[in-house]
């Protein structure tokens, strides 16, 4: 079982690679898409060519995030890590729901916004747990996830985000950085201990 969850720790990075590959393919086959005007979700709408690529791609990426979050919970040692990993898995459900409720459907706006909210919340909680456990990159994960919120607000207030795609790209890049750091940190702990027992303190 431990060997399986060791493998699942890589699924976060696999999910982010898959997401960018999907965006790249959809951008290529939809030349009408303008980064400074549209939203990435337009790739899954009725106007897009082969919207199934984007929608089923996000469903697959969401499933990978769920498994990644589950692996974090498995290797957790305190409550913040457990809760953070659980919210991470929950954010994977919302990512998959973006593919289910694609652009043009009524729930799309709700599931899209809540994906980013759940993901940011999970990274903040996970960052706190990592700091408590004194893991490598812990302060980087916590500071990046916290500071990204006021930074986005400042940019919106001073310049304004030109399109949904631009702010989505900003959010995705922040998530990517944190997921990579979290993965490296937990892989590092496995060199010393194959399985950490969850603390009830």
On whether residue 198 sits in a domain, the answer given is: no
Domain around 17? 2-189
On whether residue 116 sits in a domain, the answer given is: yes
- What is the 3-class SS of the chain, one letter each residue? CHHHHHHHCCHHHHHHHHHHHHHHHHHHHCCCCCCCCCCHHHHHCCCCCCHHHHHHHHHHHHHHHHHHHHHHHHCCCCHHHHHHHHHHHHHHHHHHHHHHCCCCCCCHHHHHHHHHHHHHHHHHHHHHHHHHHCCCCHHHHHHHHHHHHHHHHHHHHHCCCCCHHHHHHHHHHHHHHHHHHHHHHHHHHCCCCCCCCCCCC
pTM of the predicted model as reported, rounded to 2 decimal places: 0.91
On whether residue 104 sits in a domain, the answer given is: yes
- Stretch among 97-106, 149-158, 170-179, 185-194 having the lowest mean pLDDT: 185-194
On whether residue 85 sits in a domain, the answer given is: yes
| The pLDDT of residue 1 | 77
Count of domains observed in the chain: 1
Q: Give pLDDT tens digits for 42-62.
A: 999 999 999 999 999 999 999
Mean pLDDT on 23-33: 97
| The pLDDT of residue 159 | 87
On whether residue 74 sits in a domain, the answer given is: yes
**Dist CA 128 CA 182 (whole Å):** 12
On whether residue 64 sits in a domain, the answer given is: yes
């Amino acid at each position: 079982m431990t060997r399986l969850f060791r493998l699942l720790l890589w699924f976060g990075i696999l999910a982010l690679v898959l997401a960018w590959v999907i965006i790249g393919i959809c951008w290529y086959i939809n030349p009408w898409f303008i980064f400074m005007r549209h939203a990435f979700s337009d790739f899954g709408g009725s106007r897009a060519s082969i919207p199934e690529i984007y929608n089923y791609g996000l469903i697959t990426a969401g499933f990978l995030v769920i498994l990644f979050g589950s692996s974090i919970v498995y290797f957790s040692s305190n409550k913040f890590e457990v809760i953070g990993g659980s919210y991470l898995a929950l954010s994977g459900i919302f990512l998959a729901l973006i593919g289910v409720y694609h652009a043009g459907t009524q729930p799309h706006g709700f599931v899209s916004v809540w994906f980013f909210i759940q993901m940011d919340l999970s990274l903040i909680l996970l960052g706190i747990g990592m700091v408590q456990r004194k893991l490598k990159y812990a302060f980087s994960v916590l500071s990046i996830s916290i500071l990204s919120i006021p930074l986005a607000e400042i940019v919106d207030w001073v310049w304004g985000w030109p399109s949904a795609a631009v702010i989505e790209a900003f959010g995705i890049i922040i998530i990517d950085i944190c997921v990579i750091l979290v993965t490296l940190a937990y892989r590092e702990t496995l060199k010393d201990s194959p399985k950490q027992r969850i603390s009830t303190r």
